[in-house]
């Protein structure tokens, strides 16, 4: 991947990172925690029927300069550019999302993740999986629980009708839940552009029909689905509330998730539709 357009100073300022710039495990862990806490997962552009661009210049402009967020292809492509620039050895993979899917479901390769080779071993890196985005890299060691600053994760080998690969699971709600499965076939930006285009144009895509925003914070995670806001602490019950006005929705996107909203004439009507639909579904009394 070309990296000559990545402004590391601007990126580090965006995520609040002031540490070493050496390609070490310590650096990778620090960046992997800082990035998702500063740059929220969000699909505002597909939701507004705006194109998603994956070239380095567009990603830096949107996620760094304009202080927006993005979905997996944007988040992990930018993160790979940063890691490449720092001298890390990175391979990109594609995954089939299994989160909240029935057992045995066969899904398309619609998620991007990274593998970083270090002297300590290979580590999975993924800063773009929505409400359960990793906040630390996972050592590529199957059948072992891996702690992160948030939940525990594990990597399970699998060999079935879909071939040989691995499933990533997270321990949440006192059970192990599947996130996605992948194999070790290297992917390139052209592969992701096709998947991203499909998710942004298919009328049935949930990225077009549902507003989804998420970010981790120390000791908790925030998630927004349309106008329903949830806060999930690492210990204790989740808290949920319905946002009942456009002003409240905008304030939550800006303050809770740290998103500088785009100056688009389509944004206000889209948020109004979410609030109106949500209020209509809420019973009176």
Q: Which residues contact 197 (CB under 8 A, 6 or more apart)?
A: none
Q: Catalytic annotation on 89?
A: no
Q: What's the rounded Cα separation, in Å, for the pair 135 and 40?
A: 12
Cross-strand bridge partners of residue 212:
225
The catalytic residue among 32, 35, 81, 111 is 111
Does the annotation count 126 as an active-site position? yes
Is 232 one of the catalytic residues?
Answer: no
Active-site residue, from 32, 81, 115, 126: 126
| Among 35, 72, 115, 215, the one annotated catalytic | 72
Residue 206 structure tokens? 């949930």
The residues assigned a catalytic role are 72, 111, 126
């Amino acid at each position: 991947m070309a990296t000559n357009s990545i402004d590391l100073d601007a990126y580090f300022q965006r995520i609040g990172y002031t540490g070493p710039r050496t390609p070490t495990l310590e650096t990778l862990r620090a960046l992997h925690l800082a990035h998702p806490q500063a740059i929220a997962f969000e699909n505002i552009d597909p939701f507004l029927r705006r194109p998603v661009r994956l070239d380095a210049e567009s990603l830096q402009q949107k996620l760094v300069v304009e202080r927006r967020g993005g979905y997996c292809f944007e988040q992990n492509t930018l993160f790979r550019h940063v890691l490449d620039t720092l001298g890390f050895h990175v391979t990109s993979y594609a995954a089939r999302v299994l989160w909240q899917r029935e057992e045995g479901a066969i899904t398309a390769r619609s998620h991007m993740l990274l593998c970083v080779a270090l002297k300590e071993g290979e580590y999975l890196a993924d800063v773009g999986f929505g409400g359960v985005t990793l906040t630390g890299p996972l050592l590529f060691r199957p059948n072992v629980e891996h702690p992160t600053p948030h939940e525990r994760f594990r990597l399970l080998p699998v060999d079935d009708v879909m071939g040989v690969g691995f499933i990533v699971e997270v321990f949440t709600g006192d059970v192990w839940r599947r996130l996605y499965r992948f194999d070790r076939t290297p992917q390139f930006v052209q592969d992701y552009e096709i998947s991203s285009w499909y998710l942004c144009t298919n009328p049935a895509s949930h990225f077009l029909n549902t507003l989804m925003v998420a970010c981790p914070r120390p000791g908790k995670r925030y998630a927004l689905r349309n106008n329903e806001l949830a806060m999930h602490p690492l210990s204790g019950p989740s808290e949920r509330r319905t946002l009942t006005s456009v002003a409240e929705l905008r304030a939550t996107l800006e303050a809770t998730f740290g998103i500088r909203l785009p100056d688009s004439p389509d944004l206000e009507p889209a948020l109004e539709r979410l609030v109106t639909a949500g209020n209509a579904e809420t019973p009176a009394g």
